[in-house]
């Protein structure tokens, strides 16, 4: 096998939804459509129980070697009191850091069959297909100084530092423009250059990169206006590139245009390898381990399967197969299949395995 996948199902519903992806991998391997070799490891609470760490060095090494990491979800009440640096989420942070995953891709797709579940009117969201590209490793979440200073007299000062260097903006902009070329050829860059110096630099660098992409229509938008436009007329957008903080918020706004948490995939990409040109990458649903429904076989596997489809598309260039998997998801929804989280009145709901099997059959 030339392509390797490293699976980290994690905790809670993570294992249940990953099982449905494994069935799709086994099918495409058997059909000769893929030649994936797969290995799996432990991440999160299950890894803590087994090794006393959120992810073992052995599994980290495997994640670094794999062509793509497929991640389920981690966490749960059982591990609420483990030491901070060993908590389940530490696995995610370690993976993002060691794999250098600076570009977070969050699609917001509104399936016509689910348009009525959107927070907006059907006309505004039907057929919606946006991709938010969020910078993930820089900006105000990481910039120093980051501290609370005691000023005396009962006064304190909280400080976070928004900080971006040219190279960080350049590389995220290139990821976003490259993606725009494969989609609607339209890109919006959202910042607050009207009040922030880091925003002025952001815009300057993105405009420079835009010159290398004559086929993509480039638009600047202030981040607050972007939030408003996402709710007013979301279909005007194709790709939106933005920083870590604005991306966190804007991607959550976009997510709610589409319906349910159980439907949202994501990808995180690193820099291309200087020799092979391949990017490190990790694919995971946006949702968590859903302890409230874990073990019941009712979790929606669509976000997980759609994340796998993103891996096919972005790590392996298997556009046709990715289209087929995504088409199968749209197809079962159009057929009326619903898991409990996206149930509509008077409709029978299906469990995780039944939904997975229906997508595979399509
Ligand atoms: P959550 O996303 O796990 O669940 C929120 C709500 O959505 C729950 O009612 C859940 O049942 C429902 N839900 C989520 N995914 C679903 C699916 N695929 N099908 C059907 N229903 C679904 O977020 P919550 O409850 O805040 O966190 C639970 C645990 O997950 C915590 O330990 C948290 O730290 C962790 N978490 C992990 C993430 C990750 O691994 N990337 C991300 C977010 C939370
Ligand atoms: Mg968020």
Centre a 10 Å sphere on the Cβ of residue 120 and count the other Cβ atoms it contains.
19
Same fold flag, 1-102+271-362 and 129-256: yes
Q: Which whole-number Å values give the CA distances from 228 to 188, 237, 249, 254, 272, in the listed order? A: 14, 12, 12, 11, 34
User: What ipTM describes this predicted complex?
Assistant: 0.98
Measuring from atom 42 of ligand 1, which residue has the nearest CA? 288
Structure tokens at 102: 């600076």
Class of domain 1-102+271-362: alpha beta
Instruction: Please state the pTM of the whole predicted model.
Output: 0.94
Rounded CA-CA distance 97/103 in Å is 12
Domain ranges of the chain: 1-102+271-362, 129-256
- 35 in active site: no
Q: At what angle do helices 197-210 and 166-181 cross, to 10 degrees?
A: 40
CATH topology of domain 129-256: Isopropylmalate Dehydrogenase (3.40.718)
Q: What DSSP string describes 330-360?
A: HHHHHTT---GGG--TT-----HHHHHHHHH
pLDDT tens for the chain, 362 residues: list them. 589 999 999 999 999 999 999 999 999 999 999 999 999 999 999 999 999 999 999 999 999 999 999 999 999 999 999 999 999 999 999 999 999 999 999 999 998 888 887 888 889 998 899 999 999 999 999 999 999 999 999 999 999 999 999 999 999 999 999 999 999 999 999 999 999 999 999 999 999 999 999 999 999 999 999 999 999 999 999 999 999 999 999 999 998 888 778 899 999 999 988 888 899 999 999 999 999 999 999 999 999 999 999 999 999 999 999 999 999 999 999 999 999 999 877 678 999 999 999 999 99
CA 218 to ligand 2 centroid distance, Å: 26
- 192 in active site: yes
Rounded CA-CA distance 30/66 in Å is 21
Structure tokens at 104: 């977070």
Structure tokens at 343: 């149930």
Decide: 288 in ligand 1 pocket, CB within 6 A.
yes
Decide: 116 in ligand 1 pocket, CB within 6 A.
no
Sign of CA dihedral 210, 216, 219, 220: negative
Q: At what angle do helices 319-334 and 352-361 cross, to 10 degrees?
A: 120
């Amino acid at each position: 096998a030339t392509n390797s996948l490293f699976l980290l199902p994690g905790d809670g519903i993570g294992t249940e939804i990953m099982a449905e992806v494994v069935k799709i991998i086994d099918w495409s391997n058997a059909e000769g459509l893929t030649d994936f070799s797969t290995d799996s490891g432990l991440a999160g609470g299950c890894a803590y129980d087994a090794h006393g760490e959120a992810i073992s060095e052995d599994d980290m090494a495997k994640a670094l070697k794999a062509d793509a990491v497929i991640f389920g979800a981690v966490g749960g009440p059982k591990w609420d009191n483990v030491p901070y640096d060993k908590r389940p989420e530490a696995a995610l942070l370690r993976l993002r850091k060691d794999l250098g995953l600076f570009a977070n891709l969050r699609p917001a797709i509104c399936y016509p069959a689910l348009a009525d579940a959107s927070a907006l009117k059907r006309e505004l969201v039907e057929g919606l297909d946006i991709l938010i590209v969020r910078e993930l490793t820089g900006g105000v979440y990481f910039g120093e100084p980051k501290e609370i200073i005691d000023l005396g007299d009962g006064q304190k000062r909280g400080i976070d530092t928004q900080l971006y260097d040219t190279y960080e903006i350049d590389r995220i902009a290139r990821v976003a423009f490259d993606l725009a070329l494969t989609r609607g050829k339209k890109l919006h860059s959202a910042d607050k250059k009207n009040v922030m110096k880091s925003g002025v630099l952001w815009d300057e660098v993105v405009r420079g990169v835009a010159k290398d992409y004559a086929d993509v229509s480039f638009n600047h938008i202030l981040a607050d206006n972007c939030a408003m436009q996402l709710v007013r007329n979301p279909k005007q957008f194709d790709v939106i590139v933005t920083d870590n903080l604005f991306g966190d918020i804007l991607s959550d706004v976009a997510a709610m245009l589409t319906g349910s948490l159980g439907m949202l995939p994501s990808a995180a990409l690193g820099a291309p390898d200087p020799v092979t040109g391949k990017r490190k990458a990790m694919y995971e649903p946006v949702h968590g381990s859903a302890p409230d429904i874990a073990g019941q076989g009712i979790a929606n596997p669509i976000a997980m399967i759609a994340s796998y489809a993103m891996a096919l598309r972005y790590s392996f260039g298997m556009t046709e197969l990715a289209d087929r998997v995504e088409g199968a998801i749209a197809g079962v929804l159009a057929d009326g299949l619903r898991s409990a989280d996206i149930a509509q009145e008077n409709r029978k709901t299906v469990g995780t395995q039944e939904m997975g099997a229906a997508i595979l059959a399509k």
